[in-house]
Amino acid sequence: MYRISITVFVAFAVAVCGGCQPSVQQGEISGRITLNGEPVSQGYVIFRNHKQGVHMMAEIGKDGTYRASTADGYGLPHGDYEVSLSPPLLEVPFGPADAPPDPGEVAEFPKKLLKAETSGLVVTISDGPRVLDVELSDSEEPDTE
C-alpha cells in the first residue's frame, strides 16, 4: 500500500509540475520570398540569435511564404535575429548512387544571403505578428519590407 501511494504521488507531481517551467515569450514571424516578382518555391529562411542560443529554420512553401515555429507553437522567442536564406536540402539516397542528385529548378540566392554574417537581414521579434518579406532580383541587392 505504501509503495502504491508513493508511485501515485510521484506520477501526480510529474503531471502537475511538467507544465511548471516558465514559458518563453514568443512573437510570430512570417513572410514571402520572391525572385523578380515570382515566388521562390523552395528553400529555408534561417533565424539565428547567438545570445539566446536560438537557431531555427522556416521552410519556404510553393507560394513563397514561410512561417517560423518552435515546439511551443508559431513564432520565435523575443529578441534580435540575423536572417539568412538556404536552398532546399537535396534528398540523397543512402548508399552508393549512380549519379549526383538533381537539384531541379532551384532559385539561386545571392551568395551574401547564404550567411547570417553577410546577409544584412536582421529582424526583431517582439509581441504581435511580424512580417519579413524579401524581394530578390537578378541584378540588385535584396529589398526587405
- Comparing CA positions, the residue from 117, 120, 123, 114 lying closest to residue 88 is 114
* Most confident option among 15-29, 108-122, 128-142: 108-122
CA atoms within 13 A on the CB side of 40: 28
Three-class secondary structure of residue 31 per DSSP:
strand
Give the distance, in angstroms, between the CA of residue 36 and the centroid of all CA atoms in the same chain.
23
In the chain, the percentage of residues whose pLDDT exceeds 90 is 43
Task: Report the pLDDT averaged over residues 37-58.
Answer: 92
pTM of this structure = 0.72
Residues 6 or more apart whose CB falls under 8 angstroms from that of 125 comprise: 26, 27, 29, 75, 76, 77, 78, 79, 80, 81
Q: Which residues contact 79 (CB under 8 A, 6 or more apart)?
A: 49, 51, 52, 54, 124, 125
> What's the pLDDT score for residue 83?
95
Who contacts 11 (Cβ-Cβ below 8 Å, separation ≥6)? none
Give the contacts of 22 (CB within 8 A, at least 6 positions apart).
none
Query: 25-89+106-139: which CATH number, 3.40.50.720, 2.60.40.10, 1.20.210.10, 1.20.1530.20?
Result: 2.60.40.10
Task: Give the pLDDT band of residue 137 (cuts 50, 70, 90).
Answer: confident
Write out pLDDT tens, residues 54-76: 999 999 999 999 999 988 889 99
| Average pLDDT score, the chain | 80
Quick one: DSSP state of residue 40?
P
In the chain, % of residues over pLDDT 70: 72
Confidence grade of residue 104 (pLDDT, cut at 50, 70, 90): low
